[in-house]
Structure 1
Amino acid sequence: MQLPANMFKRALRERRPQIGLWCSLCSNIVAEILATAGFDWIVLDTEHSPNELPMVMQQLQAMQIDANTASPVVRPPWNDAVMIKRFLDIGSPNMLLPFVQNVEEAKKAVAATRYPPKGIRGVSGNQRANRYGLVADYHAKADTEIGVILQAETRDAVDRIPQMAAVEGVDGIFIGPADLSASIGHLGNAAHPEAQAEIMRALKLCKEANMPAGILAPDEDDARRYLDAGFTFVAVGVDQGLLTKSTRDLAKRFRAHVGRS
């Protein structure tokens, strides 16, 4: 059995636009539905959702990676080597690492995904990532197939994008618009002109460093604008938000139909 190619990582390397979705509902059923909806990548979030490792493994199993499904991207709660190791062992092909602030933290993130001597990932001979020992070349090829994306979420982190992008093993820089706007005094207002200017500055620095840039944009107009500006991978929605909006819209239409406001 061969280790599957990481198609999302290849697409980023080739700068092919990748449309994603945030998955925060902590459900293997939701993950299974989203995986074949037509997105290129799906974030299984554990930083801002009550999503624990056994639940994430069920979601990864439900997604069943093949040519017709989205690539899973797991976001751990922190840039922590122990958590990263555990998510890699249950089969996450891509890691989205929050709040990476400098070169040292970028190197730490990459090292956590690499086996010695290139990194510090603990070695297990029998886990889901190598199909319980059936992928004979897993340890030799895992380093080249695991995607590492760093989140730049403050002005200081944006300043250091050129240095972080130069760290070997980094596959993309993801701009966190909510935290970035909060860090410059515009909490809850990523649309503020100063926040937007900082987002565009981050994109410019990524382009200059020849590094794919990503962002979360639940608003369709924002998502289109970011894609047109040159962001390579854009999450265009959040499952919780989609459920909230669609159910309320449906209820509103039928309450009006029966004469209730």
Structure 2
Amino acid sequence: MPFRVDPSLKDALADATRPLVGMWVSSGSALMAEICAGSGLDVVLVDGEHGPNGLEGILAQLQAVRGHPVTAVVRPPVNDAVVIKQYLDIGVQSLMVPMVHTAADAEAAAAAAHYPPRGVRGVGSALARSSRWNRIPDYVQRASETITVMVQIESAEAVGNVADILAVDGIDAIFLGPADLAASMGRLGAQDHPEVVAAVEHCIAAAKAAGKPAGVNAFAEATARHYLGAGAGLVVVGADVTLLARGSEGLAATYIPQ
């Protein structure tokens, strides 16, 4: 029986009648990923950059969330063609590539995600979950349709180059990382500094002008609503580990004398 390819993030963004809302799964736990996938949020983002995630763990999380009406996005630790190839082969369809500072960085990310002649992705579909071991008809010819490449704008240099990054063929969306952006602007820990907010807003506007979606990290509700008002198509509003940390601290504060 032929297998189908699930929609990727670019499909979800294109079909959405409102901005999408998501959360990080940074624990490396398939169980946590499954719980978050059933929450009613639109997107779960599996973090291979700051979370303890190897290939086997990411595969387990993809399998855990697949039965839920949610889009899985995976962030590799680095913009590297070999790592991206491995992620795609285990079935990642929506990539968030970190630390993209220039159009050349964006071109490298896009090339890594696509088979030749468009890119440099190694062809191993017969061995890979991505094609369901060649059970998806014409996978290698259609693979580019099934993959989303979102790149992270998280430095002052990237903000300056955002229009050129957005113009790269194969870049489907950008995602703003205000924490690293603030650090690169000399505002470490001050994600809500007016200069940082203005830089984020500038990038959202640039994406809108280019006809591509922009997403942003915004764990504080007021900040999230601000960026929604500024035109963000995806807002990531929390993480499994932070929810557990704050929730467990709340239990301790409630029941243990201080």
Same fold, TM-score > 0.5, yes or no: yes
Q: Percent identity?
A: 41
How far off its partner does 1:149 sit?
A: 0.1
Tell me if the contact between 1:8 and 1:40 (Cα under 8 Å) persists in the aligned partners: no
What is the rounded CA distance, in whole Å, between the counterparts of 1:224 and 1:75 in structure 2?
24
Deviation at 1:225, TM superposition (A): 1.5
* Structure 1 equivalent of residue 202 of structure 2: 201
The residue type equivalent to 2:137 in the other structure is A
Partners of 2:34 and 2:138 lie apart in 1 by 28
8 Å CA contact 2:9, 2:73 repeated in 1: no
Corresponding residue for 1:93? 93
Instruction: Give the Cα–Cα distance (whole angstroms) in 2 for the partners of residues 139 and 36 of structure 1.
Output: 31
Q: Distance in 2 between matches of 1:160 and 1:2?
A: 40
Match of 1:72 in 2: 72
1:246 to 2:244 alignment = no
Corresponding letter in the other structure for 2:59: M
Contact 1:45 1:76 in 2 (8 A): yes
Q: Give the superposition deviation at 1:7.
A: 4.7
What are the within-5 Å matches in structure 2 for residues 218-233 of structure 1? 218-233=219-234
Alpha carbons of 1:7 and 1:96: their partners in 2 closer, same or farther (altered >3 Å)? Answer: closer
Contact 2:8 2:93 survives alignment (8 Å)? no
In structure 2, the partner of 1:12 is 13
Contact 1:3/1:137 (8 A) holds in 2 = no
**Distance between the aligned counterparts of 1:59 and 1:5, measured in 2?**
15
Look up the equivalent residue of 2:44 and give its one-letter code: I
Q: Secondary structure of 1:6's match?
A: coil
Match of 2:31 in 1: 29
Alpha-carbon deviations, 1:183-210, whole Å to 9, x = none? 1100111111211121112222222222
Deviates more, 1:152-161 or 1:178-187: 152-161
Tell me if structure 1 keeps the 8 A contact 2:8–2:148: no
Secondary structure of the corresponding residue to residue 175 of structure 2: strand
The one-letter code matched in structure 2 to 1:94 is S
- In the TM superposition, what is the alpha-carbon distance from 1:14 to its structure 2 partner? 4.8
Q: How many aligned positions are there?
A: 255
Question: Secondary structure in 2 aligned to 1:31?
Answer: helix
Give, as a single letter, the amino acid of the residue that structure 2 aligns with 1:208: A
Deviations along 1:114-149, whole A, 9 cap, x unmatched?
011111100112211111221122111111110000
Structure 1 CA distance for aligned equivalents of residues 203 and 170 of structure 2: 20
Which SS does the other structure have where 2:46 is aligned? strand
Q: Note the residue ranges of structure 1 that are not aligned, 5 or more in a row.
A: none
Contact 1:3–1:138, Cα closer than 8 Å, also in 2: no
CA gap 1:128/1:19 in 2 versus in 1, 3 angstroms: same
Q: Is the 8 A contact 1:2 1:137 kept in 2?
A: no
Give the 3-state SS of the residue equivalent to 1:119 in structure 2.
coil
Aligned residue type for 2:89: D
| Residues 201-243 of structure 1 deviation map (CA, whole Å, 9 limit, x = unaligned) | 2222222222211111111121111112210011011111111
User: TM-score, normalization: structure 2?
Assistant: 0.94
Task: Pick closer, same or farther for the CA change 1:206–1:236 going to 2, 3 Å.
Answer: same
What do you get for the CA RMSD once the two structures are aligned?
Answer: 1.4
8 A Cα contact 1:13 1:171, kept in partner: no
Task: Out of 111-120 and 14-23, give the one that drifted further.
Answer: 14-23
Q: What is the TM-score normalised by the length of structure 1?
A: 0.93
5 Å-filtered alignment, 1:165-184, equals: 165-184=166-185
- How far apart are the structure 2 equivalents of 1:2 and 1:142? 14
